[in-house]
């Protein structure tokens, strides 16, 4: 893309929505290509944003969470938000390379020994023996809503901002 294309992509008016299955596939692909996100929690009107490593299975996120404020916050309020972006866009300079998402959903904590703990832990590819001395928990985030931004969608005549909502939410 050259500099003359920038005004065109920024001002191009596109409102068309991606078909649901295409949107889910693009979001899942984006999540699978990322490893770090920002997890936002809140407790007693005090927000906290934590950079954290994650893995995705479809649209559901999993994190290995050390004891701390985020876990205390989730115990009190399981509603969370997650932000992700593609850092390559910072260096590329092209507007059509801007891609990211904001996910809102509910968090669930798994302690060692609980059903779901090792299934989530295995996503990180680490030996299970490492959990012997680890005091953390596995965190699962099931999305209710995902706002996906991909400026390149305008080149396909779709709106750059697409919204996915869980059907049973």
Q: Decide if 109 is inside a domain.
A: yes
CA gap 109, 94 in Å, rounded: 39
Q: Give the number of other Cβ atoms within 10 Å of residue 64's Cβ.
A: 19
The pLDDT tens digits of the residues spanning 104-160 come to: 999 999 999 899 999 999 999 998 898 888 888 999 999 999 999 998 898 899 999
Least confident of 6-10, 30-34, 120-124, 148-152: 6-10
Q: What is the CATH number of the domain that holds 39?
A: 2.30.110.10
Q: Decide if 84 is inside a domain.
A: yes
Q: Decide if 166 is inside a domain.
A: no
Which pLDDT score, from 0 to 100, does residue 1 have? 46
Quote the domain boundaries for residue 124: 5-158
Q: Decide if 50 is inside a domain.
A: yes
pTM: 0.88
Q: How many domains does the chain have?
A: 1
Q: Decide if 165 is inside a domain.
A: no
Q: Decide if 10 is inside a domain.
A: yes
The pLDDT tens digits of the residues spanning 49-88 come to: 999 999 999 999 999 998 899 999 999 999 999 999 988 7
Q: Decide if 106 is inside a domain.
A: yes
């Amino acid at each position: 893309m050259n500099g003359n294309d920038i005004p065109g992509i920024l001002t191009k008016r596109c409102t068309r929505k991606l078909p649901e299955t295409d949107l889910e596939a693009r979001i899942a692909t984006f999540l699978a290509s990322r490893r770090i996100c920002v997890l936002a929690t809140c407790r007693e009107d005090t927000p906290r944003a934590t950079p954290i490593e994650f893995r995705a299975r479809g649209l559901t996120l999993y994190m290995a969470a050390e004891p701390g404020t985020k876990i205390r916050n989730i115990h009190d309020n399981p509603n969370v938000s997650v932000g992700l972006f593609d850092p390559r866009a910072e260096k590329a300079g092209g507007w059509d390379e801007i891609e990211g998402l904001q996910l809102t959903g509910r968090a669930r904590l798994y302690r060692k020994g609980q059903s779901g703990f090792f299934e989530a832990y295995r996503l990180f590819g680490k030996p299970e023996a490492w959990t012997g001395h680890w005091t953390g928990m596995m965190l699962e985030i099931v999305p209710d809503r995902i706002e996906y931004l991909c400026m390149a969608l305008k080149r396909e005549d779709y709106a750059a901002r697409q919204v996915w909502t869980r059907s049973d939410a």
